[in-house]
């Protein structure tokens, strides 16, 4: 990590501590496209615009509010990122590095990522949820390029933490939610994939595709955080269903799945709360 990145994370953490002293999140959450409304269900103590935190990106895509919420849910302290910056917005794969490094500075042990995704499997219908268990980086870039000597060679075996995934399975079973599991493919965007790209991805064992989470998973593992990721299936991939793809479809279908996502989160928080007990 460069000195400037260290300085930004330290400065952002200091600002957060002035707003809410001694706050140590037990879980960080990043809310993706169409999922920002989940924040309305939280007991928010402090809301800080990304623009007020050094190095935090200001998202330019609709459905991403660009705020950090310091919250509690079911007695569990949460740091919630309401929106992300994507690689396609300015060509920076490390755009979310300052927020993730700041979480590490605050002592946050784990990060739950959410995103919208296109399904490559007929059984993964729009409105369903996929727990990501691995990924393929079709974009071919890394957020750790330029990290220098700060341990850029990060092991990506079991990058999606088995323990967190097990907690999500238990939550899904308890809430009678069908939780799919599979491989996520990251494309750079902002254009949607071509039918040929979708066919190629299917041949490589990919179950859903999207334009986010993979850089954040790499950054979180680099920072020492455990990671889980939930992809909301908002559409079928290009060529798998009639009609054109558009971002409004993504936002609408993500919103429809938000109730199930909340119930999965409640179950995960229950496990975390039990682990917090002395």
Q: Tens of pLDDT along 127-185?
A: 899 999 999 999 999 999 987 666 678 999 999 999 999 999 999 999 999 999 999 99
d(CA 225, CA 135): 17
120 in Cβ contact with 207 (< 8 Å): yes
d(CA 265, CA 172): 10
Task: For the chain, give every domain's residue range.
Answer: 3-276
Specify the pLDDT at position 36: 58
Residue 21: alpha-carbon gap to chain centroid: 26
Specify the pLDDT at position 73: 85
**Six token digits for residue 35:** 């999922």
Specify the pLDDT at position 25: 96
Maximum Cα–Cα distance across the chain:
55
Q: pLDDT tier at 202 (50, 70, 90 boundaries)?
A: very high
d(CA 251, CA 255): 6
**Six token digits for residue 277:** 């007990």
- Comparing CA positions, the residue from 31, 33, 30 lying closest to residue 247 is 33
Q: For strand 129-137 and strand 179-186, is the pairing parallel, antiparallel, or unpaired? A: parallel
- The position carrying tokens 């299936």 is 233
d(CA 195, CA 201): 10
* Whether domain 3-276 has CATH 3.40.50.150: no
d(CA 251, CA 36): 10
Q: pLDDT tier at 197 (50, 70, 90 boundaries)?
A: very high
Q: pLDDT tier at 274 (50, 70, 90 boundaries)?
A: confident
Report pTM: 0.91
Q: pLDDT tens digits, residue range 79-134?
A: 999 889 999 999 999 999 999 999 999 999 999 999 989 999 989 988 899 999 99
Q: pLDDT tens digits, residue range 217-262?
A: 999 999 999 999 999 998 888 878 766 655 566 566 666 677 888 8
Contacts of 68 (CB under 8 A, 6+ apart): 16, 47, 48, 49, 50, 53, 56, 79, 80, 81, 82, 99
Task: Output the CA torsion sign for 269, 134, 193, 124.
Answer: negative
82 in Cβ contact with 69 (< 8 Å): yes
């Amino acid at each position: 990590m460069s000195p400037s990145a260290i300085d930004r994370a330290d400065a952002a953490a200091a600002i957060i501590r002035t707003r809410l002293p001694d706050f140590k999140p037990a879980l960080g959450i990043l809310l993706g496209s169409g999922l920002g409304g989940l924040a309305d269900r939280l007991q928010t103590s402090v809301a800080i615009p990304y623009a007020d935190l050094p190095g935090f990106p200001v998202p330019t895509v609709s459905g991403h509010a660009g705020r950090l919420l310091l919250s509690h849910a079911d007695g569990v302290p949460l740091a919630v990122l309401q929106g992300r910056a994507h690689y396609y917005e300015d060509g920076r794969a490390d755009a979310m590095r300052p927020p993730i490094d700041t979480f590490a500075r605050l002592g946050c042990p784990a990060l739950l990522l959410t995103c919208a995704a296109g399904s490559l499997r007929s059984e993964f219908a729009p409105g369903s949820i996929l727990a990501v268990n691995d990924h393929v980086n079709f974009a071919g870039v890394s957020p750790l390029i330029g990290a220098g000597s700060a341990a850029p060679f990060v092991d990506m075996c079991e990058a999606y933490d088995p323990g967190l995934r097990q907690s999500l399975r238990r939550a899904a079973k308890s809430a009678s939610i069908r939780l799919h599991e599979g491989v996520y493919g990251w494309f750079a965007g902002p254009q949607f994939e071509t039918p040929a790209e979708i066919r190629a991805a299917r041949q490589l064992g990919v179950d859903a595709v999207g334009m986010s989470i993979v850089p954040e998973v790499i950054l979180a593992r680099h920072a020492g955080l455990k990671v889980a990721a939930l992809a909301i299936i908002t559409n079928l991939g290009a060529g798998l269903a009639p009609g054109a793809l558009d971002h409004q479809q993504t936002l609408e279908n993500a919103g429809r799945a938000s109730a199930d996502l909340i119930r999965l989160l409640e179950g995960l928080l229950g496990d975390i709360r039990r682990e917090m007990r002395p």
